[in-house]
Structure 1
Amino acid sequence: MRKAFVGSLLLSVLCAGCSSASEETLNGSSEQSTAGTANKAGSHIQHIQVGSQVLGRDMAVDVYLPPGYSDQQQYPVLYMLHGYGGNASTWFDWLDLDGAADRLIHEGKLQPIIIVSPDIARSFGINSIPGQGVNQGDVDEGLYETYLNEELVAYMDSHYRTLASRESRYIGGFSMGGYAALYLAMTHVEDYSKAGGHSAALWDYTDTDLYTGQRDWLYPTEELRRLRDPIWMASYKAKPQQGLEMYLDAGESDELAEKDEKLYDALKAGGYKVEWHLSEGGHDINYWSSQLDNYLLFYAKKR
């Protein structure tokens, strides 16, 4: 059985070739790196390291700062999580999310926004401990949920000019990162107002499930499945009082599309505000690249 949760050979090649972000090793408390790249539109990508106490190491993070970024202004912040085998640079280096953001901001369609792309390894964004599930060597265990939702958010809010409120904080991702974004937003609804699952890695325990080793590691017991499976979470969690807006999409030829649509049905039945988009394409870089405008406008369309 294939072990990487990637839906095509193209994505396998993409992730195998993802280059590491420019890094600056930090001593003691985390500090911003000055390493970064500016583009013609005047935006800037910083390659930083954020120290994590719960993971016991520095974690790579790429941060997109919009054109005209200023200490005199505050910005909404979007956390975008990569797929299996990707890294902190995948959204920018391979999908050109920064280019799409630059263009939409220039056209007056998108609010200037900070975009944060952290390395989440092969963790699915959860808190896991060795022995909790059977790790076949294809996942990374550790307190990634705590790192992402507590340490990283706190770091960004203290080091950048973010609007540090639920209303201005969004999270999304593709494939494995789509699962992680949905899980984190539904578990910590007090922290995010919008969430996107783009070709999210989901399972419904039918014969069409893929990568069942990863499924069984995520959900080794019925109780953990109840706590971690977005489809199950949608069926028993009451509609969030604060209101959580959700965006689900997949390519028509993506084998995960039926799973994602099943989540959409469960969310609708659970009273969530959610939209579903099925478009031409598969589980690959070409599909996600074609959807970047739709993703960004969902998160931060200029009113």
Structure 2
Amino acid sequence: MNIKRIIALLLICAAFFGLKASAATVDTALTHSVAMNRDLKAVVIKPADYTTTKKYPVMYLLHGFSGNYTDWIKKIPAITKLADTYHFIIVCPDGAFAGWYFDSPVNKDFMYETYISKELVSYVDSHYATIATRKGRAITGLSMGGHGALFLAFKHQDVFGAAGSMSGVVDIRQFADSYGIEQLLGKYSEHPEVWEQHCVVSLIYLVKPNALALTFDCGYDDGMYSGNQELHEKLLERKIPHDYTVRPGGHSWEYWGNAITYQVLFFSRYFNGDK
């Protein structure tokens, strides 16, 4: 083998290993919830340029009903490339099969509002090189996770500076007899005021204009479309700036795999001071 061919092979090998080394790192973090007295797992994606000498913004990405913390990385593995492209950490928490991301007033085994907004955020900030302020945190999710992201952001504006939703269940009253919600809040017919307190469209009064950077979207053929349209109109009435997008599509991973690319762009602009 001549010297030119050896050099060429060495360059190819160097390029290959360089590409491998530049890939995002996917961790599975074991966290503990004092509120629920148990351990929970979360996927943490670190961008390729991650180093402890630099501080990174964090996007919390929530799964939907019947899912778990592995959903996003399994269904849309390309989110690792988004972490690389936009240079922020992505955290995918566990919200249980039907945890709905709030603290249940009737079942103390479901305290996911406290877990996400306090316990998990504290864990991530103490174990990773993060921008540990609301200006360095965004939260979004799909379906049940879309509800959770907006609910948590509306109620914890000191923790999250930006929030989004994809096909979010923004009006849980539509599903008073479905998806395990009454197991967490009691029957809607008996406790309508409790449901109001946990319904995104009923919590808009908590948000002042420009207090949060907001983006949400929904497919036109999605059963969540009417609720998202109502949320959009109510935000307009209160003159609360937000990005709202309706696209062709339904309640599917094909839709969410496309939608997340626009959401991370929005959050990147926020992190960079453009929102």
Q: What TM-score does the superposition give when structure 2 sets the normalisation length?
A: 0.82
State the distance in 2 between where 1:82 and 1:198 align: 10
Contact 1:96–1:289, Cα closer than 8 Å, also in 2: no
AA in 2 matched with 1:157: D
AA in 1 matched with 2:102: I
Q: 1:237 aligns with which of 202, 206, 213?
A: 206
Q: What TM-score does the superposition give when structure 1 sets the normalisation length?
A: 0.75
1:113: Cα distance to partner?
A: 0.2
Corresponding residue for residue 44 of structure 2: 63
Alignment of 1:73-92 (within 5 A): 73-92=54-73
Alignment of 1:131-142 (within 5 A): 141-142=109-110
RMSD: 2.3
Corresponding residue for residue 24 of structure 2: 43
Corresponding residue SS for 1:291: helix
1:264: Cα distance to partner?
A: 1.2
Corresponding residue for residue 177 of structure 2: 212
State the distance in 2 between where 1:272 and 1:225 align: 23
Question: Of Structure 1 and Structure 2, which has the larger fraction of its residues in helix?
Answer: 2
AA in 2 matched with 1:182: L
Contact 1:194–1:245, Cα closer than 8 Å, also in 2: yes
* Residue 270 (structure 2) pairs with residue 299 (structure 1): no
Flag the 1:277–1:129 CA change in 2: closer, same or farther, 3 A: same
Count residues with an aligned counterpart: 247
Q: 1:195 aligns with which of 163, 169, 175?
A: 163
* Residue 143 (structure 2) pairs with residue 162 (structure 1): no
Q: 2:74 aligns with which of 48, 68, 93?
A: 93
State the distance in 2 between where 1:282 and 1:141 align: 32
Task: State the identity as a percent.
Answer: 29
Flag the 1:215–1:147 CA change in 2: closer, same or farther, 3 A: closer
Corresponding residue for residue 88 of structure 2: 113
State the distance in 1 between where 2:207 and 2:20 align: 44
Contact 2:172–2:199, Cα closer than 8 Å, also in 1: no
How big is each residue's C-alpha offset from its partner over 1:196-215, in whole Å with a ceiling of 9 and x where there is no partner? Answer: 1110013375xxx3463345
Corresponding residue for residue 263 of structure 1: 231
Q: 1:251 aligns with which of 210, 219, 228?
A: 219
In structure 2, list runs of 5 or more residues that go unmatched. Answer: 1-18
Corresponding residue SS for 2:118: helix
Flag the 1:212–1:271 CA change in 2: closer, same or farther, 3 A: farther
Relative contact order, higher structure (CA 8 A, sep 6+): 1
Corresponding residue for residue 106 of structure 2: 130
In structure 1, list runs of 5 or more residues that go unmatched. Answer: 1-37, 132-139
Corresponding residue for residue 28 of structure 1: none
